[in-house]
């Protein structure tokens, strides 16, 4: 592409400019370049025709431009040499002296980046922000996605700069151009609770988000809906749900369910500000931006400077900042020293690091990788990965409970990881709370009289899933369809147990005509207490529907019937109409939608209406040759994460990648391809897990691959395979987009087994319908079968601070040894600890008291509670036993489930 473009101004004048070949920044929507003369920034869209209204919207923006400085508004439309529309131009601001407001809200980041700690400075930023929003509202424009990460401030003058303006809701003379972006934690309650797109609220959405940010600026970064539970009330884990439920703890009237964070200084606010915050955050009558500007300006003149610290300023009788420092010092004094950090604290970043996008770029600047137009440069982006919101009532200084004895059968032993320096101390213990044992014959038949009546019973299925609490643990029971292989069943029930089997049956399927229900990748919705399984035909690997396990009538959601391609008759796919594409499904966290996806198409149903999908779309053609290994949804289906992988036989040429999709105008669009980001690994996409907010992503990968033709044999003949170490890489979504999590020494955080085993594993693509729990069989004495691995079936807690790895297993003679690792992830303190290892060894043959002519298959599974406080660990063995008389064959199952408490410890 030529680096020369045409500028077309509102008055019809044109000019030709050249821009630097090295971009300032590149995001999902377009790439930013600086002109040669450093006067303009050019945003050139990746796909200018993606939104046909985009060009018209830009012309209307030129016609209705604000006059205030610091709002990066388009000044001209850009065309290429063929006069094709490709983007727009705007002033090139010097953001080398600017940071995002998100950085201003963290004391640690202010110190690291050498941003002033002056409270008066933050109040001035608040005034400037209100003034910029007021100017846009005066013209009828709305920001909609108003949040700290999208706003910058001058570190010398405190002036706020409003960026990414082409995404705003724009008023024109004839129509309104909507802004479709918005962020959880800043959405007005009537929009989120009423399922109304925030852009439809217009000014109401902006004023709610503005008030939230102003509160954070004045209250040391605390979100206005962060607080502490009152009277034992169970608080939602995320701020957006608290917003929807009206859990505002700082109102003048005391709230019955939530009280203020002990780290809040809201009691120092003048009454006029407290009333404005309360009204704007608890009702739909919100203080307008120009009124906020006036109130804050008036009250800023009344601030008193602290005699002890000139950075402190306050309104009431005593300095709340000094009081807060004293409280923190007292907390540190009252507890024993914390465990030593697994990594050193963040070192200050050289202040010469520049911001992105609208920056006068020097020759040694590095391009950022975030999606925001004016995201700060990569070096600063690393620091932002440390930023997470404090959970209500939790001090920045973490505390630990007293240690207790660890049960002898669970070995808890943190050790050093070669990739990340983990602490050689136990910071987690795993205590067995309860266990559940069983030994049952589920099927028998006479070898002589094959038509003799058979005996069928339901038994626990071996695949565990995430759970909310141990007293309502979801568990599938089934009557296996075949002998020793138990993965499919014509009869299924869903139960809730309390680890004494004193639970209840909450759903059942008994439709014998449905041939097969595949259970290996089942899901459970705790909202409706419903389970969901694959409904298949012919065999458990060819599935066409997802069926709900309910007590009433059968409810199924159709994905394909071997003719999915015929749904798009205008396309010549080059694939047989009867071809079958394996697929995945995911239930949204509110239990109201089901998302189904193959490498070809994506289908979404409203759970309440299984007759017709609400979304059905073709996926990128470049995915056609890939296998979908995992599908996750966040924000109730607003965003999706998809993992894909492929390889030749025996793991050769393994490749994988992960993408993030965003729902825009009822269509999912790829916003992030992790394969294109810095620090990506082409051997990725084995599996993925995310937290509830969707801003922490764990990706299963392989490292250090090698070809091997000595260790593996097929029919006693050596075969060449690709082997590698399984690992999990962490990613954090920041103001600059997704970044691989790094340590202060710039090392990428990669979670590994305590020590990388010299025995690498085959780089295998997981089964599309997961069979990741098979660990041993009767014909193998030293090798482990199946897909059980450290980098598969791992889980994150909803808050994203605890990760349970996949299980690794080995088999020697009749003993099976299994291991799962628990990691503590503290992004704020930049600590990533191997907290505990759960080791389990068992001897299924001896425990079964079975004769020597017994064949068996053994399965293992582990799951994590939503809050990360408990782990369920289970092993299930299926026996095929021939009686001594060789006349009767019995199929049996033996199982053991253990519930483990994961509790923090002091040193």
Spell out the residues 6+ positions from residue 302 whose beta carbon is closer than 8 angstroms to its own: 270, 315
Please report the DSSP string for 842-901 in residue order: E-HHHHHT--TT-EEEEEEEEEEBTTSSEEEEEEEEEEEEE-TTSSEEEEEEEEEEEEEE
pLDDT of 82 > 70? The answer is: yes
Please report the DSSP string for 619-642 in residue order: PPGGGTT-EEEEEEEEGGGTEEEE
Name the strands in the sheet holding 504-509, side by side, starting at the edge strand that comes first in the sequence: 459-460, 473-479, 491-497, 504-509
**Lowest-confidence region among 397-401, 650-654, 857-861:** 397-401
**Lowest-confidence region among 97-106, 683-692, 876-885:** 876-885
Angle made by CA atoms 577, 580, 581, in degrees to the nearest 5: 120
Please classify residue 245 by burial: count the beta carbons closer than 10 Å to its beta carbon, then call 0-12 exposed, 13-18 middle and 19+ buried.
middle
Cα–Cα distance measured from residue 313 to residue 901, given in angstroms and rounded to the nearest whole number: 45
So where are the chain's domains?
Answer: 4-91, 96-384, 428-698+705-711+725-904
**Lowest-confidence region among 336-350, 444-458, 565-579, 787-801:** 336-350
Angle between helical axes of 289-300 and 271-282 (0-180°, round to 10)? 160
pLDDT of 589 > 90? The answer is: yes
Average pLDDT over residues 118-122: 95
Query: What are 59's two structure tokens?
Result: 């012309």
Query: What are 700's two structure tokens?
Result: 């299963």
pLDDT of 803 > 90? The answer is: yes
Residue 105's pLDDT is: 93
**pTM > 0.75:** no
Angle between helical axes of 119-138 and 289-300 (0-180°, round to 10)? 150
Residue 504's pLDDT is: 77
Query: What are 205's two structure tokens?
Result: 């959405």
Cα–Cα distance measured from residue 904 to residue 907, given in angstroms and rounded to the nearest whole number: 10
Give whole-number Cα distances, 905 to 405, 412, 826, 902, in Å: 11, 12, 15, 10
Q: Are 705 and 675 a contacting pair, CB within 8 Å?
A: no
pLDDT of 397 > 80? The answer is: no
Neighbouring C-alpha atoms within 13 Å toward the C-beta of 63:
12
Residue 150's pLDDT is: 84
Confidence category of residue 26, pLDDT binned at 50, 70, 90: confident
CB atoms within 10 A of CB 324: 16
Rounded percentage of the chain residues whose pLDDT exceeds 90: 39
Residue 434's pLDDT is: 67
Confidence category of residue 836, pLDDT binned at 50, 70, 90: confident
Give whole-number Cα distances, 244 to 181, 192, 475, 590, in Å: 19, 7, 31, 14
Cα–Cα distance measured from residue 132 to residue 293, given in angstroms and rounded to the nearest whole number: 9
Q: What is the pLDDT of residues 45-69, one digit of tens each?
A: 988 887 778 888 999 999 999 988 8
Count, residues in the chain? 907
- Given 3.40.50.300, 3.30.70.20, 3.40.50.2300, 3.30.200.20, which CATH number is that of 4-91? 3.30.200.20
Cα–Cα distance measured from residue 638 to residue 181, given in angstroms and rounded to the nearest whole number: 11
pLDDT of 421 > 60? The answer is: no
pLDDT of 373 > 80? The answer is: no
- Given 1.10.150.80, 3.10.150.10, 2.60.40.10, 2.130.10.10, which CATH number is that of 428-698+705-711+725-904? 2.130.10.10
Give first-to-last CA distance, the chain, whole Å: 59
- Is the torsion defined by CA of 797, 801, 806, 808 positive or negative? negative
Q: What is the pLDDT of residues 319-343, one digit of tens each?
A: 999 999 888 777 655 544 433 333 3
CB atoms within 10 A of CB 671: 18
96-384 in CATH: which number? 1.10.510.10
Residue 136's pLDDT is: 95
Mean pLDDT rounded to a whole number for the chain = 78
Closest CA to 227 of 241, 209, 208: 241
Average pLDDT over residues 284-313: 94
Q: What is the pLDDT of residues 710-767, one digit of tens each?
A: 767 665 677 788 989 999 999 999 877 899 998 877 889 999 876 666 678 888 888 7
Please classify residue 360 by burial: count the beta carbons closer than 10 Å to its beta carbon, then call 0-12 exposed, 13-18 middle and 19+ buried.
middle
| Strand 870-882 to 855-864 pairing | antiparallel
């Amino acid at each position: 592409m030529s680096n020369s473009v045409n500028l077309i101004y509102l008055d019809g004048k044109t000019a030709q400019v050249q821009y630097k070949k090295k971009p300032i920044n590149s995001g999902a929507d377009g790439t930013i370049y600086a002109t040669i003369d450093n006067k303009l920034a050019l945003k050139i869209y990746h796909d200018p025709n993606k939104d046909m209204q985009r060009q018209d919207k830009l012309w209307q923006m030129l016609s209705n431009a604000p006059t205030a400085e610091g709002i990066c508004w388009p000044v001209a439309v850009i065309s290429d040499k063929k006069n094709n529309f490709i983007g727009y131009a705007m002033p090139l601001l010097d953001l080398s002296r600017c940071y995002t407001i998100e950085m201003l809200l963290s004391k640690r980041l202010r110190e690291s980046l050498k941003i002033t700690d002056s409270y008066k400075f933050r109040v001035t930023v608040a005034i400037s922000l209100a003034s910029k929003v007021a100017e846009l509202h005066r013209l009828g424009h709305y920001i909609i996605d108003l949040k700290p990460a999208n706003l910058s401030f001058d570190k010398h003058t405190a002036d706020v700069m409003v960026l990414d303006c082409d995404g705003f809701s724009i008023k024109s003379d004839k129509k309104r151009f909507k802004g479709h972006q918005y962020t959880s934690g800043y959405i007005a309650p009537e929009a989120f609770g009423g399922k109304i797109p925030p852009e439809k609220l217009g000014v109401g959405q902006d004023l709610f988000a503005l008030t939230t940010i102003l509160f954070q600026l004045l209250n040391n970064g605390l979100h206005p809906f962060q607080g502490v539970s009152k009277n034992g009330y169970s608080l939602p884990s995320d701020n957006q749900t608290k917003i929807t439920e009206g859990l505002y703890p700082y109102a003048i009237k005391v709230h019955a369910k939530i009280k203020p964070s002990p780290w809040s200084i809201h009691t120092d606010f003048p009454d006029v500000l407290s009333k404005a915050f309360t009204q704007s955050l608890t009702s739909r009558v919100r203080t307008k931006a120009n009124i906020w500007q006036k109130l804050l300006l008036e009250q800023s003149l009344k601030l008193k400077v602290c005699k002890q610290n000139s950075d402190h300023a306050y309104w009431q009788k005593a300095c709340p900042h000094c009081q807060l420092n004293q409280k923190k010092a007292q907390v540190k004094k009252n507890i024993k020293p914390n465990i030593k950090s697994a990594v050193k604290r963040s070192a200050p970043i050289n202040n010469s690091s520049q911001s992105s996008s609208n920056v006068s770029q020097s020759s040694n600047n590095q391009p950022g990788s975030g999606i925001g137009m004016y995201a700060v440069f990569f070096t600063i982006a690393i620091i932002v990965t440390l930023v997470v919101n404090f959970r209500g009532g939790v001090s920045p200084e973490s505390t630990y409970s007293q240690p207790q004895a660890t049960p002898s059968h669970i070995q808890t032993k943190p050790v050093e990881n070669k990739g990340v320096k983990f602490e050689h101390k136990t910071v987690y213990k795993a205590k067995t709370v309860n266990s559940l044992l069983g030994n049952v014959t589920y099927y028998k038949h006479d070898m002589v009289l094959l038509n003799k009546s058979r005996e069928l019973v339901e038994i626990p299925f071996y695949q565990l899933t995430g759970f909310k609490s141990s007293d309502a643990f979801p568990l599938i029971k089934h009557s296996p369809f075949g002998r020793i292989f138990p993965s499919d069943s014509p009869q299924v029930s869903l139960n809730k147990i309390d680890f004494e089997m004193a639970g209840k049956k909450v759903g059942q399927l008994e439709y014998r005509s449905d041939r097969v229900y595949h259970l290996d990748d089942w899901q459970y919705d705790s909202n409706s207490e419903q389970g969901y399984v694959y409904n298949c035909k012919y065999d458990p690997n060819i599935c066409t529907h997802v069926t709900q396990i309910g007590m009433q009538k059968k409810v199924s959601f159709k994905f394909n019937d071997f003719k999915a391609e015929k749904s798009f008759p205008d396309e010549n796919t080059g694939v047989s109409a009867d071809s079958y594409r394996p697929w995945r499904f995911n239930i949204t966290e509110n239990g109201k939608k089901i998302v189904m996806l193959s490498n070809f198409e994506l289908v979404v149903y409203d759970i309440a209406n299984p007759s017709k999908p609400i979304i059905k779309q073709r996926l990128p053609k470049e995915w056609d040759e890939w296998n979908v290994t995992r599908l996750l949804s966040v924000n109730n289906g607003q965003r999706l994460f998809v993992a894909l992988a492929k390889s030749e036989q025996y793991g050769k040429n393994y490749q994988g990648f992960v993408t993030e999709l965003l729902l825009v105008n009822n269509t999912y669009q790829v916003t992030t391809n992790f394969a294109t980001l810095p620090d990506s690994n082409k051997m990725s996409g084995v599996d993925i897990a995310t937290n509830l907010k969707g801003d922490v992503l764990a990706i299963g990968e392989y490292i250090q691959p090698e070809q091997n033709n000595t260790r593996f044999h097929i029919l006693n003949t050596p075969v060449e395979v690709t082997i590698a170490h399984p690992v999990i890489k962490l990613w954090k979504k920041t103001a600059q987009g997704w970044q691989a999590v790094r340590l202060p020494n710039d090392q990428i955080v990669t979670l590994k087994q305590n020590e990388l085993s010299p025995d690498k594993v085959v780089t295998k693509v997981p089964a599309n319908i997961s069979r990741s729990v098979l660990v041993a069989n009767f014909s193998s004495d030293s090798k482990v079968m199946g897909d059980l691995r450290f980098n598969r079936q791992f889980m994150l807690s909803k808050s994203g601070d605890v990760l349970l790895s996949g299980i690794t297993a080995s088999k020697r003679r009749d003993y099976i040894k299994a291991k799962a690792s628990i990691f503590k992830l503290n992004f704020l303190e930049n600590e990533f600890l191997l907290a505990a290892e759960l080791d389990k060894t068992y001897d299924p043959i001896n425990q079964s008291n079975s004769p020597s002519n017994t064949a068996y298959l053994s399965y293992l599974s582990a799951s994590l509670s939503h809050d990360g406080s408990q782990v369920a660990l289970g092993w299930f063995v299926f026996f095929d036993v021939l009686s001594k008389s060789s006349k009767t064959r019995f199929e049996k199952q033996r199982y053991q489930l253990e519930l483990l408490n994961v509790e923090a410890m002091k040193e």
